[in-house]
Amino acid sequence: MNHHKYTNALARETSPYLLQHAHNPVQWYPWGEEALSRARREDKPILLSIGYSACHWCHVMERESFEDEEIARLMNAHFINIKVDREERPDLDAIYMAVVQMATGGGGWPMTVFLTPDQTPFFCGTYFPPDAKAARPGFRQIVQEIARAYRDRKQDLYASGEAIRQKLQKLSRMPRAEGAIDPAVLDDAVAPMISNYDPQYGGFGRAPKFPPSMALSFLMRTYARTGREPLLEIVRNTLVHMANGGIYDHLGGGFHRYTLDAGWRVPHFEKMLYDNALLGRVYVDAYLLTGVGLFRRIARETLDYVLREMTSPEGGFYASQDADSGGVEGALYLWSSEEVRSILGGEEGEIFCRYFGITPGGDLDGLNILHIPRPGDAVATICGVTEERLLEVVRAGRRKLFLARERRVKPGRDEKILTAWNGLMLRTMAEAAGALGEEAYRRAALRNAEFVLTRLRDNGRLLRSYKDGQARFGAVLEDYAYLIDGLLALYEASFDSRWIAEAEALADRMVREFWDSDGDGFYFTAEHHEALIHRPKEFYDSATPSGNSAAAHALLRLGKFTGDPRWERYPVALFQRVLDLLRRQPAAFAHMLCAVDFHLGRPKEIAVAGNPRSADARALLDVVFRAYMPNKVVACGTEPDVFLLEGKPQAEHRATAYVCEDRTCRPPVTSADELRTALSPGPRRRGPGDPP
């Protein structure tokens, strides 16, 4: 079909996802006054379709239904059709996804919601095939039936919509919980969180399997606090299997979104910035905790991938890469055994194929997904070569195949720059810079913070999304919370007190515009935000930390840096509010539990008096940043420009470290060995169920 036979109102947008639909025969509008007032004026229901550019089923539904001229004719005749990019408008996505989950017990994208002209939902679902198939009704029939129902039974639809509105209001009201926020909350969370652990492949649950980055972070913290070895084994096993699986890109670095099987083997091939930020951080932490070289390599390759393929010339990080290239899912990542052997030659091709599980039959239509089914020493034995020779062949082979792959059609890249996701990656780059001693990550973090604060801020208020030189849409809670968190990590990577001042200015605004005056946590949207049918609050951590759990963690850290006790009041009120939920459904609150662990963990306040670039200060800072210590804040400088440095002079003109907890400090030290001793944990508490 000639794609440009039609053009609709999406042609004026910047979102790649909306632009993908600009030439559908459907008369799409973006969400906005033009479409909403037309719906009210003509008394037509709204057909709202929400998705994002890296979403495979969104592309399928577009091809099957939105490019079908007959379906488009029905949609145009009976509805005002609105297309939303969920990454630009997470506020709309949060409201209507809650509705889909209440109505169907599940959710996902593309999301399809029918609304009255006043935006109240009355029928919803996710992907629909064009015609009825298996248990799914066909979209063609649905559109006709809903148009008929709106004509003949409008009052019923309004009544069911009103019931849905009331249910939504209830979701944001939390009953106050009794009891104290104490370590028992953390101890009791472990068993339910690991109850569906998969001992064979790591991770939790069965297929499809998603990388559980926040749960792993919580388990590492709990291991550090209690010394419970089985928790460390769960983390190690999961990270090794993911690193060896098809979910990891063995040639280019970085992780795909999830796998269709339980063994991490066959991925859905899109790559999201947020997954790689969260997983990059988990692998860095796991390396600090265990010293396993594999974890350091995976962290570096993942961040190097982000610098190579996901960073804009101005320093922002792009949102995602598509699963499809040239219209074929996974095309960039799949290999036939003949192609591999012809590139690498006889003996090397044979070794490489054995190592990466490449067979003539393949995994998908005769093509192979690179994965590592068995340990290197076993492959070396099978191939009759030394392990050194094996590693040399694998290293050279990966490089050659990557160069061959660079000539293939690249997957589509969503070049939107989202404040929240940039905040996540900013923190990961900044932390990796110190942990791995990598200057390139520190430079990337500094450029990123400059870019976001310059281009995604207007008169002190953050904006959500930047593309093609334009910043748009009001920021939501997660934009503020993740960015504050990232700026505090950047202070620790640069010791420029400007970043703490920026973080504090954003925190002031976040509290003013998002905090519920009843003390019930933070709203998803700011008080001046466009009025929608509901002002949601999100507490559950999903693929990314909820805005509330990220805000709690960031404000607790900010309080330690600034010495201002007001910052701690908000997280403590929030913990009290979600205490019952933490007890009942800990697996849905992994990041919130990490924030509670920080709060209860008597964070170490480490101040190094000295020039951060001098050799003696660097030696002390390396001790701090190359150990696994999630509950710490670090300041360094020759001027007391940060609260932590006040009243802490240098001893004998040498860099001097002070280790404090709750504002009580140990005697200052000047050598790396003394600092190591001062930081070493005391005797650990045993957890319930641990052997004596």
Q: Look over the chain and give the mean of its residue pLDDT values, rounded to a whole number.
A: 95
Close Cβ partners of 170 (under 8 Å, ≥ 6 residues apart): none
- Residue-wise DSSP of 410-448: PPPEE--EEHHHHHHHHHHHHHHHHHHT-HHHHHHHHHH
pLDDT at 349: 97
Cβ atoms within 10 Å of 329's Cβ, excluding its own:
19
Q: Band of the pLDDT at 691, cuts 50, 70, 90? A: very low
Percent of the chain with pLDDT over 70: 98
Distance of CA 325 to the CA centre of its chain: 23
pLDDT at 548: 98
Q: What is the pLDDT of residue 6?
A: 93
In total, the chain counts a number of residues equal to 692
Phi-psi region of 658 (alpha: psi -120 to 50; beta: other; left: phi over 0): beta
pLDDT reading at 38 higher than 60: yes
Please identify which residue in the block is written with the tokens 């504002």. 663
Residue 134 confidence (pLDDT): 79
Closest by alpha carbon to 521, among 477, 490, 583, 560? 477
Could you tell me which residues come within 8 angstroms of residue 249 by beta carbon, excluding any fewer than 6 positions away?
Answer: 255, 256, 271, 305, 333
Residue 123 pLDDT greater than 90, yes or no? yes
Mean pLDDT on 175-179: 78
Listed in sequence order, the residues at least 6 apart from 456 whose beta carbon sits closer than 8 Å to its beta carbon are 417, 419, 422, 462, 463, 464, 466, 471, 475
CA distance 597 to 631: 8
Q: Buried b / exposed e across 609-639, counting CB within 10 Å, b at 16+? A: bbbbeeebbbbbbebbbeebbbbbbbbbbbe
Contacting residues for 635 by C-beta, under 8 A, at least 6 apart: 491, 495, 561, 606, 607, 608, 642, 643, 644, 645
CB-count exposure of residue 335 (10 Å: 0-12, 13-18, 19+):
buried
Give, to the nearest 10 degrees, the angle between helix 376-383 and helix 346-355: 140
Angle at 478 between CA 503 and CA 190, to 5 degrees: 105
Q: Distance (Å, rounded) from C-alpha 443 to C-alpha 450? A: 11
324-363 residue pLDDT tens: 888 888 999 999 999 999 999 989 999 999 999 999 999 9
Q: Residue 281: how many CB atoms within 10 A of its CB? A: 26
The reported pTM is 0.95
Q: Which pLDDT tens digit goes with each residue over 361-379?
A: 999 999 999 999 999 999 9
Q: Is the dihedral of CA 141, 146, 152, 156 positive or negative?
A: positive
CA distance 451 to 432: 20
pLDDT confidence band for 56 (50 / 70 / 90): confident
**648 has pLDDT over 50:** yes
Q: Which single residue is written with the structure tokens 């390759």?
A: 301
pLDDT at 684: 52
| SS3 assignment, position 520 | coil
Over the stretch 593-606, which tens digit does the pLDDT of each residue have?
999 999 999 999 99
Least confident of 29-43, 102-116, 486-500: 102-116
Look at residue 689 and tell me whether its pLDDT is greater than 70: no
Residue 31 corresponds to which amino acid? W
Residue range 482-503: average pLDDT?
98
Confidence of residue 106 (pLDDT cuts 50, 70, 90): confident
CB 42 within 8 A of CB 80: yes
E strand spans, 109-179: 111-115, 121-125
Quick one: pLDDT at residue 681?
73
Q: pLDDT tens across 64-74, in order?
A: 999 999 999 99
Which range, of 101-110, 216-225, 631-640, averages the lowest pLDDT? 101-110
The CA distance from 567 to 504, in Å, is 10
| Whether the predicted pLDDT of 170 surpasses 60 | yes
pLDDT of residue 690: 39
pLDDT for res 682: 60
Q: Give the CA angle between residues 290, 292, 298 to the nearest 5°.
A: 120
Distance CA 486, CA 429 (A): 9
pLDDT at 662: 84
pLDDT mean over 232-247: 98
Q: Which residues contact 571 (CB under 8 A, 6 or more apart)?
A: 551, 552, 553, 555, 556, 595, 599
Share of the chain above pLDDT 90, in %: 90
All residues at 6 or more sequence positions from 304 whose CB lies less than 8 Å from its CB, including other chains:
253
As a whole number of angstroms, the distance between CA 301 and CA 323 comes to 20
How sure is the predictor about 607, in pLDDT bands with cuts at 50, 70 and 90?
Answer: very high
Residue type, 140: R
The 10s digit of each residue's pLDDT in 533-568 is: 999 999 999 999 999 999 999 999 999 999 999 999
Which of these, 273, 401, 267, lies nearest to 330 by C-alpha position? Answer: 267
DSSP states of 305-327: HHHHHSB-TTS-B--EE-SEETT
